Structure 1
Amino acid sequence: MDIHARLSPAAALSCEVCGLMPEPPKARLTLANVAMMLPIELLVHALVVGTHLPYLAKVLVLTVTATVLVIWVAEPSASRVLRSWLHAPALRHRRRLAAAPALWRARTMLRDEPGALQRVTAALAGLDANILSIHVHPVPSGVLDEFVLSAPGDIGERQLVAALQEAGGISSQAWPTTSLAMADGQTRALSLAARIAGAPEELPLAVAELLRARILTPAEAHQGTPDAGTHLKIPTAWHGPITFARPGEPFTPAESARAHRLAELAETVAHRNTACVPPPN
């Protein structure tokens, strides 16, 4: 976030659609209007009272002049000159939200050599990003490290990816995430295995949830050339081959193995359930 956007109330609080500022607190707005109107009222009274106009004329001139000056001068001036003070509570709340830590999921490919992970952790520490969990996927060209990070609110995807790349990472990516990402792959796979044991027909949905992937229809699976490693096909005897897609995020061997084991579990449970069904009389 740009520093001027943090310091300017108009830039920080204006609606992106209509451009209007939020309504300031009534107490602050009242005090601001009084502060701007009081000098105007005193000046108008001093000028009009000293004239030789009739009493009713003085009252009329004071009323009309003060009203016009308040509408055209006092209120706009209060909103402009005292803008920071009027919107101080909203600005403080906005800055607290902007500074609050955000959760990210990041992936980067590293060479399988000493010090590679240390360089990555040092680069992330330079952004005040805290590594909450890490999972290492062995791949043919090295290792694919998957992180769950807690980073300051003003750190975005671009800064995280740049830090990973500068530390020696390859094909680095980052996505905003939630606390659900704290459940590691093994825990998530075991939870889904328990779900499949009770309902083997939910295998496609369980694997899609495990891999954070989309289930492709047979027509989609046969269309075009899949991006390298981003399509995963699981053969099943009773579902037929099921294809999953995750654009921009290739599947790792560990993820493929977990998905295939879940498919084997679903088939075993389905076969056992079928064998237990008594034949019709």
Structure 2
Amino acid sequence: MKRPPHNTPAADLSCEVCGRMPEPPKARLTVANVAVMLPIELLVHALVVETRLPYVAKVLVLTLTATVLVIWVAEPSAARILRSWLHAPALRHRRQLAAAPSLWRARTLLADQPGSLQRMTRALARLDANILGLHVHPAPAGVLDEFVLAVPGEVGERELLAALHDGGGSRPHVWPTTSLAMADGQTKALSLAARIAAAPDELPLAVAELLHAQIVPPQDAGSPADDGTRLKIPTAWQGPITFSRPGEPFTPAESARAHRLAELAETLSHRPAGSSS
């Protein structure tokens, strides 16, 4: 089967490997075949009925001729001429998926002055980006703003980086994320703090769960990465614990929560057994 030309929207549905189109809905395929076969059937019947052939011969000629025309003409013509209509539901579904919003985390450094955030929100609004979450962290050269954004499906990393730059941001970074980014980090931290209060040795696992990070073995810890994707927490009874989250640097707020959990675990580890105060 020849690969359909890529000059129509329906052609984009063809398989990249075999070139075949997906199976259209049965109802649409039936309607398309009837629409193409009916004129052929009427023409063949009109031609054969007027002949002087015996009745049985007419039936055989009509049957064979109609069958051959349906197989070789009608069905291929219906698939080719009515392709867009046959695959309209799949095309509509694809357009809906393409327009569906995707979630991104974005981080950029802004000047600590009035109007900076307003310029940034205007730049993001030009992409139809919806700001679902915002955290502002003090930084030596200004403020580090972290956004959770819902953007149209066709907007990608390049467009987001350009918008952050146009909004006055410097050193912008963006990462695809999920709805978990909207979880209440403070509530989760309190739940893990209760877990550490019951068992201080659970600190590494609790911090890894809090930050969605991996625990780095001591022999592989080394020095923290310059891109902020490694976080080292000092502890007096276990030594430094290093966490890694490739592709997604830790925020100052996440670092502060992890260090506070470490302080809690260290305080509880030095408390005499059975003490309630």
TM-score bracket relative to the smaller structure: 0.7 to 0.9
C-alpha distance in 2, partners of 1:202/1:21? 54
Secondary structure (helix, strand or coil) at the match of 1:113 reads coil
1:66 matches 2:66: yes
1:10 matches 2:11: yes
Pairwise CA distance, 1:18? 4.4
Question: Where in structure 2 are the equivalents of 1:163-202 lying within 5 Å?
Answer: 163-202=163-202
Q: More displaced, 155-164 or 186-195?
A: 186-195
Question: Where in structure 2 are the equivalents of 1:3-42 lying within 5 Å?
Answer: 8-11=9-12, 13-42=13-42
Partner of 1:136: 136
Gap change, CA 1:113 and 1:16, over 3 Å in 2: farther
Gap change, CA 1:9 and 1:135, over 3 Å in 2: same
Gap change, CA 1:92 and 1:249, over 3 Å in 2: closer
Gap change, CA 1:26 and 1:252, over 3 Å in 2: closer
Q: Contact 2:135–2:147 at 8 Å: present in 1 too?
A: yes
Q: More displaced, 224-233 or 113-122?
A: 224-233
Pairwise CA distance, 1:31? 0.8
C-alpha distance in 2, partners of 1:15/1:202? 50
Gap change, CA 1:214 and 1:128, over 3 Å in 2: same
Pairwise CA distance, 1:184? 4.6
TM-score (norm 2): 0.86
Partner of 1:107: 107
Pairwise CA distance, 1:228? 4.2
1:223-242 CA distance string (max 9 Å, x none): x8833433221122333221
Partner of 1:218: 218
Unaligned runs of 5+ in 2: 1-5
Pairwise CA distance, 1:249? 3.9
C-alpha distance in 1, partners of 2:224/2:186? 31
What one-letter code is carried by the residue in structure 2 that aligns with 1:174? V
Q: More displaced, 205-214 or 122-131?
A: 205-214
Q: Contact 1:139–1:253 at 8 Å: present in 2 too?
A: no
Q: Contact 2:49–2:58 at 8 Å: present in 1 too?
A: yes
Unaligned runs of 5+ in 1: none
The RMSD of aligned alpha carbons is 2.5
Partner of 1:275: 273
1:237 matches 2:240: no
Q: % of aligned pairs identical?
A: 77
What one-letter code is carried by the residue in structure 1 that aligns with 2:196? I
What one-letter code is carried by the residue in structure 1 that aligns with 2:226? D
Q: More displaced, 38-47 or 198-207?
A: 198-207
Gap change, CA 1:249 and 1:111, over 3 Å in 2: farther
Q: Contact 2:224–2:231 at 8 Å: present in 1 too?
A: no
Gap change, CA 1:24 and 1:181, over 3 Å in 2: same
Q: Contact 1:227–1:247 at 8 Å: present in 2 too?
A: no
Gap change, CA 1:99 and 1:258, over 3 Å in 2: same
C-alpha distance in 2, partners of 1:148/1:19? 39
C-alpha distance in 1, partners of 2:90/2:60? 40
C-alpha distance in 2, partners of 1:150/1:98? 13
What one-letter code is carried by the residue in structure 2 that aligns with 1:254? A
Gap change, CA 1:85 and 1:137, over 3 Å in 2: same
Q: Contact 1:123–1:164 at 8 Å: present in 2 too?
A: yes
